[in-house]
Amino acid sequence: MTTNETETAALAARFPTGFTWGAATSSYQVEGSTGADGRGPSIWDAFVNEPGRVVDGSNGDTAIDSYRSIPEDVATIKALGLNAYRFSLSWPRICPDGSSRVNEAGLAYYSNLVDALLAEGITPWITLYHWDLPQALEDAGGWPVRATAERFGEFAQIAHAALGDRVKHWITVNEPWCSAFLGYASGEHAPGRREPAASIAAAHHLMLGHGLAARAIKAADPEATVSVGLNFYPIHAATDTPVDLDAARRIDGVQNRWFTDAALLGAYPEDIVEDFKAISDFAFVEDGDMEVINAPVDVLSVNYYSRFTVTGNGGATSASAAPTGAGSAWPANEHIGFVSSGLPVTDMGWEIDPGGLTEILTRLHAAYPGVDLAITENGSAFPDKIEDGEIHDPERQEYAQAHLAACADAVAAGVPLVGYFAWSLADNFEWAWGYTKRFGLVYVDFETGERTVKDSGRWYGDLVRRARTNREAE
C-alpha cells in the first residue's frame, strides 16, 4: 500500500460497524424541471428572478437535472460505494399550492427515486424542508405566520403516508437558522425579506413545524428515525474584553443553542430570549408550543463547515454572507462583527477548522445526552478545472480527510456518531452564489449536465469501501 492508502485504511478502521456513509443534496439545488408535472412555484423560483439576488444571475430551472436523472444519480452513488443518500422533497412538487391537495406526479418522482435507491442497497434519508417553501404560503405570510407551520405538519403526514413504508429516516427542517435569518432578516435567501422582528417569529414557526412534523411521523411509524438538521459553528471571541466575550455568548446562543435547546430541552435559552426582547415581544409563542417543539428526536443532524470569530465592536461583516444580502442576519446583534482568525479558507471564504468539529460533537453530546448524532453535511467549495477528463482537487480531499479524522476523534471520545454525509454528491446551484461555487464529490458540466467523479470522490469512495469491508469481515 502507498502511504496514502495506509492512512486511508487507518482512518476507515476508526469508524464503528453499521456506520452510515452518504452524500447529500437538496431539491431546488439539483432537480431542475421546476415547471414539470404539476409542480407549483416555490419562493426560490420567484426570488431568483429578481435582479441582483443571485451573483451570476442564474436560477434552478435546470440545475443539474436530477429530476430526469434518477438512474444516473443512483448509479453514481452506487459507484462511490455509499450506503445512504440524503435528499430533500420539494414541498411545492407534492403540494403545489401549499394546501393538502396532492400532486400525485410529484410524489411519484420521489417514490421512484426511493425504489431505485433501495434496489441498490442505498438507504434514503429524506429532508422534508430544505428551503423551497410553496410560493402560495409565502403569499399568505410565509414562516412569520403560524399557519405555515400547520401546513408543514400536514405536508409531513402526506409525504410519510406515501413513502414511509420504505423510508425510515426523516429530517424535518434543514438549518432553520438560514431559513429564518437569511430568508427574513438579511434577505440573502428567499423570500428576501428584511424584517428582523418577523425573522424571530419565522424561527419559532420553523421549530413548531419541526415539532408537528416529528410528531406526525412518529404517530404513523414509531420505528421511524426522526431528526432535525441544524448548522453549528465554534464561536470564538476576538479578544477577552467583556464586549467581545458578550458578542461570543450572543452569537453562540443564536447559532448553537437556540434551536437545539428548543428541540431537545423544550425551552429557548433564557439569555438569548432577553437579547431578542429588544425587538420582539414573543407574542407568537402560544401555550403548548414548546411541548410540541420538544418532540422525540432520535438523531440530531449536524451540518458543519466552519467557525466564527466575533467582536462586539462592529467591524467586518460575516465572510459567509453573499454580496447580495444587504441586511444583517443577526437581529438584535447588529453591533457584532465577524473577523478573520487567519486560518486558511475555502472558496466560500469559510475558515477551515476540523478540530472545531470534534469540539462541536463532544459539546453536543455533553449538552444533549441520549440522542445520536449524524453529520448530515460537511464539505468544501474549491474552484475545479477538468483536465483530460479528470478533476484533481487535493484541497477538497484534504478537507474531507481532516474532518473525517475529527469525526473519528469524537467517536473515540464516546460520541454516538452514526453517520456522515458529504455535502455534496455533485456540484449544484449554491443559492445566492448560483453556479459559482462547487461543493461536489462529482463534477458537473453545467452546460451539458455531464458528471465526472473528482479525485476527492474517488478518495471518499475508497475510504467508505474500506470501512464497510473491514466491518463486514468482522
Enumerate binding residues for ligand FCB (CB under 6 A).
26, 29, 174-175, 178, 231, 303, 377, 423, 430-431, 439
Cα distances (Å, whole numbers) of residue 188 to 104, 194, 220, 281, 320: 33, 9, 37, 25, 11
What is the helix (H) or strand (E) element at residue 421, kind and residue range? strand 417-423
CB of 175 to ligand FCB, least distance (A): 5
All cell numbers assigned to 378: 460537511
Answer yes or no: 398 catalytic. no
State CA 62 to chain mean position distance.
21
CB of 456 to ligand FCB, least distance (A): 15
Instruction: Write down the catalytic residue from 31, 377, 395, 430.
Output: 377
Tally Cβ neighbours within 10 Å of residue 327: 21
Residue pair 415/375 in contact by the 8 Å Cβ criterion: no
CB of 399 to ligand FCB, least distance (A): 12
Residue pair 163/126 in contact by the 8 Å Cβ criterion: yes
31/246 with CB nearer ligand FCB: 31
184/439 with CB nearer ligand FCB: 439
Q: Is the peptide bond before 134 cis (omega within 30 degrees of 0)?
A: no
Residue pair 248/236 in contact by the 8 Å Cβ criterion: yes
CB of 255 to ligand FCB, least distance (A): 12
Instruction: Write down the catalytic residue from 175, 188, 395, 430.
Output: 175
Taking Cα atoms as reference points, which of 91, 173, 201, 119 lies closest to residue 376? 173
CB of 437 to ligand FCB, least distance (A): 8
Cα distances (Å, whole numbers) of residue 349 to 316, 323, 329, 344: 13, 12, 17, 9
- The contacts found for 222-226 with CB under 8 angstroms, 24 or more apart, are 223/168, 224/160, 224/164, 224/168, 224/169, 224/170, 225/168, 225/169, 225/170, 225/298, 225/299, 226/170, 226/172, 226/295, 226/296, 226/297, 226/298, 226/299
All cell numbers assigned to 257: 443553542
Q: Is 22 helix (H, G, I), strand (E, B) or coil?
A: strand
138/377 with CB nearer ligand FCB: 377
> For residue 294, which phi and psi values (nearest 5 degrees)?
-80, 45
244/395 with CB nearer ligand FCB: 395
Answer yes or no: 377 catalytic. yes
407/411 with CB nearer ligand FCB: 407
Taking Cα atoms as reference points, which of 154, 204, 189, 246 lies closest to residue 50? 189
- Sign, CA dihedral 177-179-182-186, equals negative
As beta bridge partners, residue 303 has 231, 377
CB of 265 to ligand FCB, least distance (A): 24
292/425 with CB nearer ligand FCB: 425
CB of 461 to ligand FCB, least distance (A): 21
> For residue 330, which phi and psi values (nearest 5 degrees)?
-125, 75
> For residue 226, which phi and psi values (nearest 5 degrees)?
-110, 140
List of residues 6+ apart from 447 with CB closer than 8 A: none
CB of 469 to ligand FCB, least distance (A): 30
Tally Cβ neighbours within 10 Å of residue 158: 18
CB of 390 to ligand FCB, least distance (A): 24
67/431 with CB nearer ligand FCB: 431
8/174 with CB nearer ligand FCB: 174
DSSP state, residue 431: G
Q: How far apart are CA 329 and CA 103, in angstroms?
A: 35
213/237 with CB nearer ligand FCB: 213
Active site residues: 175, 377
